[in-house]
Amino acid sequence: MRLRALLDTDALGLKLLGGEDELDRTVRGVMTTDLRDPSRYLSGGELVLTGLAWRRDAADSEPFVRILAQAGVTAVAAGTAELGDVPDDLVVACARHRLPLFAVHESVAFATITEHVVRQVSGERAGDLAAVVDRHRRMMTSGPAGGGPDVVLDLLGSDLDLRAWVLSPTGRLIAGSKVAGTRGAGTALPADVCARLAAEQLAATRTGRRGPHRVALGQTTYSLFPVRSSGRGVPAVRDPRETVLSDWLLAVEADAGDWAEERLDLLHGVTQLIAVERDRRDAARTVRRRLAQEVLELVQTGAAPAEVAARLRVAAPVLLPNLGAAPHWQVVVARVDWDGGEVEGGPVAQALLEEILVDPAATGPEHSDRIAVAHAGDEAVALVPLPAVAGEHDDTGTGVAADVLLEAVRGPLTAGLDGDGRLTLGVSAAVHSAEGLRGALEEARHARRVAAARQGRVCAAGHQELASHVLLLPFVPDDVRRAFTARLLDPLRDYDRRHRAELIPTLEAFLDCDGSWTRCAARLHLHVNTLRYRVGRIEQLTSRDLSRLEDKLDFFLALRMS
């Protein structure tokens, strides 16, 4: 706003004492101070309100005004309640530095002037930002993305002083704004706050409450706006369960309860702009989804391993473009079930897996989003590529772990399922070839069934939990048995083939002798130290301990089923 507009507002009671030629200056903010040197709190363009408490004698006016002028202040308004009149030395100093000076009548509170300036400046900024948002929306819908949601959030920060973040339904931070000023740029939102805000948004969406939803966490209030895909039809007529676990949200650090309609419309426009970026990212997943669907169909129809391997070779560069060798693979199976069965769970589970399996340590969607997920019916299947490690069968310590996969997202997802939905998830061991992929798929499916037998809305199980005694149950598929046997014995067979070490015969003899070192060494005509070396090598290659009854039983079953 212009200084002239302030002078023309009778309710403010301002009297111009100097600087008539400068009334077209723009006011960008307001600050009240009685510090002798307030420069550290000034950024330029302010109307400075002062009660003159800093002035002890006439010599103080010149340095005070000089500091304001050097900081780029627009004008000074001095209150008359303290001294009765604005001192002449202040008038002279302002004239010397070409700084407009107003006198504020003692009947007018500084708070009244501050409120008027903030309201006018904020309204003008909102109008300017609305035009920018509209122009940016047209650019994004007609051509390539212009920097993603970060650009829009930076506009909110710079033009409206609003800190805002875009979050996934699981509470993953997708983008955050940068706000200029004393608080610095772009303070990160803690992970626990992100998860809490996501849970609150999901719960509010499931109850059908109209947004924006306001959440108070400690001394801070956040307003939550849903970011819905622009290609899903009219939100009012869709079942919220179809998208509640995939919609992004915009979290703004402000209480929108008393916002004007114009500002609410602006924020809704911002969510539509972010939704365009969301749709672009979904479209970028089309190739990966198609590759996963093709591999899944080949595996389920019993295609030859060579055909599956050929398709995996096509998929590997798309998922891991910088990979120097053929990757290992893990399979993750997820299922979302809703009470009543009116909503198909497969697409919901697919979107969830794509979100849950994003690498949070990677920077940018082009690096973090490398998971191929297909769906059929109520089930989604993810192919997770893992960099091949030194040992062909050494997959310990790598890949997806079921026990930690859902740990950070359990709260938000439970809120989104809201008593009538359930997510169960199973994770296979890593396999290093197309031959093992069918067994990995069945292993992941069986692990998911183990998770489904547990209590809770969000449950997961991994291949480690398919204990050997479970494998004796008749409903376990043959592919799971074969996968268990191969994972335990293949490292030993390969080692024997390369080194003629006879680890498999040594293992059989050791178990037949009930773990007796002397009897086993005598049967194999070996020195006890040689036997101990072989058993140590077996334990090293398989990450098992032959002094434990459970591991002995696993080896015994694997040998009998091989």
Q: Are 373 and 292 in contact (CB under 8 A)?
A: yes
Counting residues of the chain whose pLDDT is more than 70, the rounded percentage is 81
Find the mean pLDDT for residues 231-248: 62
| Bigger pLDDT: 183 vs 96 | 96
Predicted local distance difference test score (pLDDT) of residue 222: 93
pTM for the model:
0.60
pLDDT above 50 for 182: no
Q: Which of 210-224, 268-282, 430-444 has the lowest mean pLDDT?
A: 268-282
CATH code of the domain occupying 485-561: 1.10.10.2840
pLDDT above 90 for 179: no
CATH topology of domain 286-466: Alpha-Beta Plaits (3.30.70)
Predicted local distance difference test score (pLDDT) of residue 145: 44
- The pair of three-digit structure tokens given for residue 104, joined into one six-digit string: 């504020």
| Bigger pLDDT: 513 vs 242 | 513
Tokens 């697919």 correspond to what residue?
A: 350
Find the mean pLDDT for residues 47-73: 91
Cα separation of 481 and 476, whole Å? 7
Terminal CA-CA length for the chain: 83
pLDDT above 90 for 529: yes
Of 28, 44, 224, residue with least CA distance to 128: 28
Predicted local distance difference test score (pLDDT) of residue 376: 81
Region label for 455, one of left (φ > 0), alpha (ψ between -120 and 50) or beta (otherwise): beta
| Bigger pLDDT: 380 vs 277 | 380
What's at 273, amino acid-wise?
L
User: Virtual CA dihedral for 56, 61, 67, 72, nearest 10 degrees?
Assistant: 130
| Bigger pLDDT: 392 vs 419 | 419
Predicted local distance difference test score (pLDDT) of residue 298: 87
Taking residue 121's Cβ as centre, other Cβ atoms within 10 Å add up to 18
Strands 46-50 and 75-79: parallel
pLDDT above 80 for 466: no
pLDDT band, very low/low/confident/very high, at 494 (cuts 50, 70, 90):
very high
CATH code of the domain occupying 146-283: 3.30.450
Give the side-chain half-sphere CA count within 13 A for 471: 24
pLDDT above 50 for 386: yes
Tokens 């067994």 correspond to what residue?
A: 439
CATH topology of domain 3-108: 3.40.1390
pLDDT above 60 for 365: no
Q: Are 115 and 122 in contact (CB under 8 A)?
A: no
Q: Where are the domains of the chain?
A: 3-108, 146-283, 286-466, 485-561
Cα separation of 187 and 325, whole Å? 40
pLDDT above 70 for 108: yes
Q: Which range, 1-10, 229-238, 384-393, is most confident?
A: 1-10
- The pair of three-digit structure tokens given for residue 525, joined into one six-digit string: 């005509």
Task: Share the mean pLDDT of the chain.
Answer: 79
| Bigger pLDDT: 343 vs 96 | 96
Predicted local distance difference test score (pLDDT) of residue 366: 46
Find the mean pLDDT for residues 129-143: 49
Find the mean pLDDT for residues 475-482: 71
Cα separation of 502 and 130, whole Å? 75
Element of type H or E holding 80: none
Counting residues of the chain whose pLDDT is more than 90, the rounded percentage is 20
